[in-house]
Every structure is written in structure tokens, then in C-alpha cells.
Amino acid sequence: MALIPPKTPPGIMELLPRQQVAFQRLLDTIRTGFERFGFLPVETPVFESVDVLLTKSGGETEKQIYFVQSTGARQQNRDPELALRFDLTIPLARYVAEHEHDLAFPFRRYQIQRVYRGERNQKGRFREFYQCDIDVIGKDTLPLAYDAEMPAVIYHIFSELKIGGFRINFNNRKVLIGLLSGLDIADAERQKLVLREIDKLDKVGRDKVIETLTGGEIALLPDIAARILDLIGLNGSNAEILAALEAMPIADPVFRAGVTELRTVLDGLAAFGVPDTHYGINLAIARGLDYYTGTVYETFLTDFPGIGSVCSGGRYDNLASHYTRSTLPGVGISIGATRLFYQLSEAGLFKAETGTSQVLVTQLVPALTADYFLIASQLRQAGINTELQLEPAKIARQLKYADRAGIPLAVLLGEDELARHTVTVKDLRDGTQHTIARDVLAAALSALLAPRAAP
């Protein structure tokens, strides 16, 4: 029989078990952080109706959709009715609109699921990847204080992840929009084009941005373009930037509202106890998505600047206008866990973790099998993740297996140990060996497994 090549579909990050353990810990840390702030879990189906998913006409997104069709529907030659979600925002909007009367508002939800994009296949871009989202959704209104809570969540989680320094940059789109209006750039479409260029500042540099702003489609006067870039390039402490903004002779009410919102968020961050080493106003953050209407966030790892933003989000005026007439303002952030894991692994930061097993009970003497079973059961009852070696292999091979599988401790019991009511424990991390009485085995192994204090 010809073999079928066993291949993961292209564009997928499939992990070996010990990498999966490390990735799982990343997701667990994120989830624990979300729950610490009282967010409630939601899971939505992997596919949505095409009608629900494709509310916008055209656009980049629609070119990357995965359509889904059952065998029966295909045979009837119908157009697909389902498609895989490409983000968690549209499913959230549909979920809140559908279940509106069963939810308590402000509704705080977290969602950690995979999303799908039919991207061109290239290194570091994935067709299936995890997003870890939180959003707070209000009914009619949502106080600005929630905008200050988002960076507090980011600070908590990225501190727990222990992947080095990070900085949360934030801005307010009203400041930018109001600035443009104040400079007589009033047309909304033209404003969007300008914001899109501003977002590229970090990548392409000031000169290139000025060139685009003053050229072709946008055609700003050079003086106006320079004033915009001067403002968004404002430097200094948060208090200094805020003071400079407040002193600006721009009367536009949207601009003033944006500055006030920035100050409120800044005050909130201090009240939450987030250290100001870890956040700052960055007026160059525009976030291309038209969908954001106020505060916007981006988070950078200071040790890995090349990775780009690892957690972004912002405030929006109305989540679900396509599905309900209720006004549902919200604020949210998203961590792209697959990409984060991939890039930190490439940078050598996520090593393959030890496996899930903490102890391997080896098999030395087949006649003692019942004892091995019993020891394993006792350790499991004591809460120790225990694997039982049931292959009658040479002990050296069993220990090699434990080492390869990332199991730190091996328990050995032969006739000698049996007579003395002891076992031998090999610590595969440092090669040490211990003789331990059977009746205190679980406690002794727990002690060996406890995290060691730094010397």
C-alpha cells in the first residue's frame, strides 16, 4: 500500500510535546491574569455564518477568508454558508448582540481561541493562530476609567510572563483627529489616510512620511505636514507631553476631549499602581483600524524591539452596530500568543519545558510490578504528576527515556530496596541519587520538586 505523506498543512505552528508544554504555560499565565481582573470566559464556534462574518464589503480581510462547507452542501453546489473566524472581535459582537438580554453589563469577557487567515505562506506568518482578547462592553456608556484598567492588565500579565522589560505605549485618536481638524483637514477619509501614514512613522521614518503626506492623494502643505510630525514627535515625560498638549493653541473640541481623556487614563494608571517605567504617551500611535475612536494601546518588549507590538487594542464607540440597535461602547486588548511564542522561541527565550510528568516510576524487576503500580498510585494521590514505565526495558534505556521526555526524577525499586522498605531516587537534573524510605516518599519527592531558592 502506498503511504500518504504525513504533513501538517502549510502555515501552521505545530509544536512538539515539550514545546507545547511551554506554550500551554504561556496561555495559562494569560488566562490566570485575565481571571485575576474578573473577566469571564467566552468561547464561540470556529465558524460563523458568512452573513455575520462578512459585514464589510471588500477589503483585505475578505481575500483571506476560509470558507467551510459540509459534504452535503457541496453536493448541492450551494455557496458556502459558513466561514472560519478571522478574529475574535466579530464573534464577540455577534455574541453580545445575540445574548444581550442574558448578560450583565458592563460585560467583561476574555476569549482565548484560534483564528484563521488564508495568508500567503511565509516565515513567521500563520494561517491558524491564537488570539487572547479581553473587552469590557458597556450598555450606552462606558466610563473612561476602564481605559486605565487595560494597561493594568497588560502590566500584570507581562510581569508574570517573565520575558524581560516591556513598555505600554498609548495615545488617543481624538488628539490626532482633533489636531487634523484644527489644521483644517476636516474630511474624514483624508484624516484616515493621514493617520495611516502616521502609523508607519516608526518603520519608514519622518522624511518618507512627509513625502507621502505632501504628495499625491493627501497633498498637505509642507508646513502643515511638518506641524503634524512635530506634534506627534513630542518628547519628554508623560507629564511634560500632557502639559505641552494642554498648552497648545488648538481650540478644536475633539482635540481638547482627547487631551482630557489622556490625562484621565494617566491618572488612572497611577492609581492602579502601574509603575511609570512601564508606560508612556506616544502620540505617533494611530492604530490603522478605523474602528478605534479614543484610547489606543501598543506594547513593546524592550529586549526584543524587532518583534513589534505584542499586545494592542483600544476604545471603540459601538461594538455591534451591524447586529443590534443597542449602543455598545467598549475597550479591549489582544495578545497574539502564537506569534509571540514563535518569535520568543526564535530569540531563544522559550526553551522546551520539562514535560508534564514530574516523576518516572521505573521497572527493574517484573515480579515487583504490583509495587510499581502502587507507588505510582500513591504519588498521584499526593498530587505528583507520575508516569509509570511499563515496558520491560533495560534501566539505562528507561532513564534515557526520562531524560529525553524531560522528567526530572526517577524512582527505582529492586529487591534490595524492597527488603529495606526504601526506594532509590535519581535526580536527572543534576545526577544526584537519594535513598528514601517508602512511607515518606511522596513528601520527599515534593521537596525535591519544589522550586529552589536562588543561591
Interactions with a copy of itself, residue window 398-427 (CB under 8 A)? 401, 404-405, 407
- Of 138, 280, 308, 414, the one binding a copy of itself (CB under 8 A) is 138
- In the complex, minimum distance from the CB of residue 202 to a copy of itself, in angstroms, rounded to a whole number: 30
Segment near a copy of itself (CB under 8 A), from 29-37, 192-200, 419-427, 442-450? 29-37
CB 260 within 8 A of CB 242: no
Spatial neighbors of 22 by CB under 8 A, at least 6 apart, are 341, 350, 351, 352, 353
Amino acid at 263: R
152 binds a copy of itself (CB under 8 A): yes
β-pairing verdict for 82-84 and 47-49: antiparallel
Q: Are 290 and 279 in contact (CB under 8 A)?
A: no
Q: Which is nearer to a copy of itself, 374 or 443 (CB)?
A: 374
In a 3-state reduction of DSSP, which class is residue 109? strand
Phi-psi category of 314—alpha, beta or left, where left has phi over 0 and alpha has psi -120 to 50? left
The whole-angstrom separation of Cα 202 and Cα 251 is 28
H or E element at residue 339:
helix 337-346
Footprint on residues 349-378 left by a copy of itself (CB under 8 A)? 355-357, 360, 369-370, 373-374, 376-377
Interaction of residue 439 with a copy of itself, rule CB under 8 A:
no
Q: Is 82 in the site for a copy of itself (CB under 8 A)?
A: yes
Please state the closest distance from residue 373 (CB atom) to a copy of itself, in A: 4
CA dist., res. 406 & res. 408, Å (int): 6
Q: Which is nearer to a copy of itself, 273 or 306 (CB)?
A: 273
69 touching a copy of itself, by CB under 8 A? yes
Q: Which stretch binds a copy of itself (CB under 8 A): 81-89, 167-175, 231-239, 434-442?
A: 81-89
Specify the amino acid at residue 211. Answer: E
256 binds a copy of itself (CB under 8 A): no
Q: Under the criterion CB under 8 A, does residue 114 sit at the interface with a copy of itself?
A: yes
Residue 95 in contact with a copy of itself, rule: CB under 8 A:
yes
CB 425 within 8 A of CB 445: yes
C-alpha cell at 167: 513598555
Q: Which residues in 281-320 contact a copy of itself (CB under 8 A)?
A: 320
**Identity at 399, one-letter amino acid code:** L
Site membership for a copy of itself, residue 66 (CB under 8 A): yes
CA separation for the pair 56, 74 (Å, rounded): 25
Nearer to a copy of itself by Cβ, of 105 and 244: the residue is 105
Query: What number of chain residues touch a copy of itself (CB under 8 A)?
Result: 115
Q: Is 275 in the site for a copy of itself (CB under 8 A)?
A: no
149 binds a copy of itself (CB under 8 A): yes
State how far the Cα of 63 lies from the Cα of 118, in Å rounded to an integer. Answer: 8
Q: Is 365 helix (H, G, I), strand (E, B) or coil?
A: coil
Among 7, 162, 421, 452, binds a copy of itself (CB under 8 A): 7
Q: Which is nearer to a copy of itself, 119 or 303 (CB)?
A: 119
Task: Give the C-alpha distances (Å, rounded to integers) separating 391 from 12, 268, 344, 397, 407.
Answer: 34, 60, 37, 10, 16
Smallest distance, Å, CB 344 to a copy of itself?
18
Residue 432 sits in the site that holds a copy of itself (CB under 8 A): no
What's the full length of the chain, in residues?
455
Cα 237 from chain centroid?
Answer: 28
Minimum gap (Å) between residue 216 Cβ and a copy of itself: 29
385 binds a copy of itself (CB under 8 A): yes
> According to CB under 8 A, which one of 26, 89, 94, 258 is a site residue for a copy of itself?
94
The helix (H) or strand (E) run that includes residue 370 is helix 369-381
Task: Verify binding: residue 268, a copy of itself, rule CB under 8 A.
Answer: yes
Q: Closer to a copy of itself by CB, 305 or 392: give it.
A: 392
